[in-house]
Structure 1
Amino acid sequence: MTDGPPELTSLERTALYKSLGNPLRRRILEFLGEHGEANSTVLARGLGESSGTTSYHLRKLAEQRLIEEIPEKSGGRERWWRTLPFRHTTPDPATMTAEEYAAAEHLALLKIDVDTELFRRAHQEYRGPEGWAQVQRHGGWMTQDELHAFLRDYNALLESYSHAREDAPEGARPVSLRFYAVPDGVGEWNGEPTGP
């Protein structure tokens, strides 16, 4: 997860993690991300659910500011929705309540499954350094401050090359990127301790 609103309380974060961990809500967000907009009827057809069910989950996602109504397309009982930009950093697990941690852990496990599938696809779809699918692995020695500075620069670089769906140039495609940084385990190097 990336930088996000620090004003979220533990209860709000718990609700957020539960929402993002709900399979149907995740499918709704994925559908809106892929198609740009939809109403409950379109979603019901696309996801094989009832419009009453999709309508309920749309309202819940809107309460958490993950989606918003499109006023110019909505009228009467027909409401159209689109995703909102979203960024969030999960706090230190040591500061979480038990319920928040359980919800965050459940969501993390779901994400591992999604990320593992993306990793497989990146390897399967790799067509050389000029193709769409890319796989990179790097390592090096950094201080913790340098790692945090690298992450800030990485996020700035992503923002400089990314576009909102409505502003994307011709030929642009949605691209999934993941970033992980993990220090090697505690050991010794030249008699000095390494790792966290």
Structure 2
Amino acid sequence: MPEQELTSVERTALYKSLGNPLRRRILEYVGRHGEANSTVLAKELGESSGTTSYHLRKLAEQRLIEEIPEKSGGRERWWRALPFQHTTPDPATMTPAEYAAAEQLAILKIDVDTALFRRAHEEYRGPEGWAQVMRAGTWMTKEELLDFVRDYHALLERYGHPREEAPDEARPVSLRFYAVPDLVTEWNGEPTGP
């Protein structure tokens, strides 16, 4: 799936949207259940239908969800998630507003990722279970690292499925990947790191 080309203003709005706790919960619900309307979301999330309706429209403006025309009618509008992929640009190229919004979103993501990391450890049942944890370290050149990341994306495309095409036994799975060079130090008298 190709990434959307976004302007700095669009990225700032996207980061603010994704950093909004209620909008994140709406996206998670729609992603998990495939579709929802404002009434269902209001009941499930403990909000008013007016509030969920407003946030659904805002998420649609950013092309994160879309209306399901065949299910919508009158005042009742049903929504589904859209495929979305985005890579945050180099922070040095961001405007101050964009950077602030991206930073707030990153803090929220760290909290979510920390909770997932704890769950993965708590739910680990061995190498054949659903929860898997792997930590590794190695030596790579920058080009090898970039090739590795490209291959990682290819693996996700090879083994992952959009919700509507997933086999019956498939479950939604959260995956996280990060790579960071070790701090600059010395190894056998030679400098290492970036």
TM bin (shorter chain): over 0.9
Q: Unaligned 5+ residue runs, structure 1?
A: none
CA contact (8 A) 1:3 1:89 kept: no
Out of 86, 96, 99, the position equivalent to 1:101 is: 99
TM-score by length of structure 1 reads: 0.96
CA distance in 2: counterparts of 1:101 and 1:66, whole angstroms: 21
CA distance in 2: counterparts of 1:189 and 1:4, whole angstroms: 39
CA distance in 1: counterparts of 2:165 and 2:136, whole angstroms: 32
CA distance in 2: counterparts of 1:55 and 1:136, whole angstroms: 40
Deviation at 1:3, TM superposition (A): 7.3
CA distance in 2: counterparts of 1:3 and 1:128, whole angstroms: 35
The within-5 A match list for 1:4-153 is 4-5=3-4, 7-153=5-151
Out of 179, 184, 187, the position equivalent to 1:186 is: 184
Deviation at 1:190, TM superposition (A): 3.2
Q: Which one-letter code corresponds to 1:4 in the other structure? A: E
Q: Unaligned 5+ residue runs, structure 2?
A: none
Q: Which one-letter code corresponds to 1:12 in the other structure? A: E
CA distance in 2: counterparts of 1:176 and 1:70, whole angstroms: 26
- The SS at the match of 2:63 is coil
Deviation at 1:189, TM superposition (A): 2.3
- The SS at the match of 2:124 is coil
The alignment covers a number of residue pairs equal to 194
TM-score by length of structure 2 reads: 0.97
Deviation at 1:192, TM superposition (A): 2.8
Which deviations, in whole Å up to 9, do the C-alpha atoms of 1:148-175 show, x marking residues without a partner? 1000000100110011111111211000
Which deviations, in whole Å up to 9, do the C-alpha atoms of 1:86-125 show, x marking residues without a partner? 1100000111111100100000000000000000000000
Q: Which one-letter code corresponds to 1:143 in the other structure? A: T
CA distance in 2: counterparts of 1:120 and 1:172, whole angstroms: 22
- The SS at the match of 1:82 is strand
RMSD: 1.2
CA distance in 2: counterparts of 1:145 and 1:136, whole angstroms: 23
CA distance in 1: counterparts of 2:67 and 2:45, whole angstroms: 19
CA contact (8 A) 1:37 1:81 kept: yes
Cα distance 1:106–1:3, how it changes in 2: closer, same or farther (>3 A)? farther
Deviation at 1:143, TM superposition (A): 0.6
